[in-house]
């Protein structure tokens, strides 16, 4: 596969195995593993205990490649409009995650220990509503960048798991939770469009 694509996937993931980066990109683990190992060989990536991360050289190489690779996308008004809709949805998701992680009890904000299943169920229902409203926006993002369809698939999966009672799939940091996948989609878009993260 294209080395650039693997390095871009690693930049989105920050630190991960070949399998983790392959999940982001929706391609075979073997292809990604080979590309990442080639990146290690020329100093663009480093590995430890089976996982990879970019080196400063790798970050610089991506920064140099992005303006050329993504020039057409950065000039696409349809993608810019879809991204503006994403940012609106992003604000809504951030509020949901805040309410998922903390709740008001007797007038005080306390960490949500998830013992109140009714409270959690309401948050998950709202997450489902947000996801439904986001579907058209996600499709608009993927129209010029088909690879982004992979995020919709991963978000669908995370929501299904959360709705089935596996509540870690709302915002768990160590699994492909809804919040984790959404965060990676945001990072991907920021890099494609040369934007900065406000949060």
Mean pLDDT in the chain? 95
Kindly list the domain boundaries of the chain, sorted by start residue: 3-69, 73-193
Give CA–CA dist 192/88, Å, rounded: 18
Return the CATH fold of 3-69: Arc Repressor Mutant, subunit A (1.10.10)
pLDDT beyond 70 at 199: no
Q: How confident is the model at residue 86 (pLDDT cuts 50, 70, 90)?
A: very high
Q: CA–CA separation, 178 vs 21, rounded Å?
A: 17
Are the CB atoms for 79 and 145 separated by under 8 Å? yes
The confidence score (pLDDT) of residue 71 equals 98
* Percentage of residues in the chain having pLDDT higher than 70: 99
> Count of alpha carbons within 13 Å of 72, Cβ hemisphere only?
3
Q: Tokens representing 91?
A: 């604000």
What confidence score (pLDDT) does residue 105 get? Answer: 87
Structure tokens at 43: 């100093």
pLDDT per position as a tens digit, 156-193? 999 999 999 999 999 999 999 999 999 999 999 999 99
pLDDT band of 69, cuts 50, 70, 90: very high
* Tens-digit pLDDT profile for residues 4-17: 999 999 999 999 99
Cα distance between residue 45 and residue 43, in whole Å: 6
pLDDT at 143 over 60: yes
Please report the pLDDT score of residue 197 as a whole number.
Answer: 79
Question: pLDDT tens, 92-108?
Answer: 999 999 999 999 888 88
Q: Name beta bridge partners: 45.
A: 54
> Taking the model in full, what pTM does it have?
0.94
């Amino acid at each position: 596969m294209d080395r650039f694509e693997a390095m871009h996937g690693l930049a989105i993931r920050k630190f991960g195995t070949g399998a983790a980066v392959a999940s982001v990109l929706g391609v075979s683990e073997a292809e990604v593993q080979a590309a990442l190992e080639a990146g290690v060989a020329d100093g663009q990536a480093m590995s430890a205990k089976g996982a990879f991360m970019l080196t400063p050289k790798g970050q610089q190489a991506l920064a140099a490649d992005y303006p050329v690779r993504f020039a057409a996308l950065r000039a696409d008004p349809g993608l810019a409009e879809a991204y503006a809709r994403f940012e609106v949805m992003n604000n809504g998701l951030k509020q949901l995650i805040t309410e998922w992680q903390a709740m008001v009890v007797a007038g005080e904000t306390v960490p949500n220990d998830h013992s109140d299943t009714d409270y959690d169920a309401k948050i998950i229902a709202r997450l489902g509503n947000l996801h439904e409203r986001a579907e058209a926006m996600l499709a608009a993002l993927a129209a010029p960048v088909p690879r982004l369809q992979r995020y919709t698939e991963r978000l669908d999966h995370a929501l299904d798991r959360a709705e089935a009672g596996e509540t870690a799939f709302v915002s768990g940091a160590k699994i492909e939770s809804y919040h984790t996948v959404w965060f990676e989609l945001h990072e991907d878009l920021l890099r494609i469009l040369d934007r900065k993260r406000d949060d």
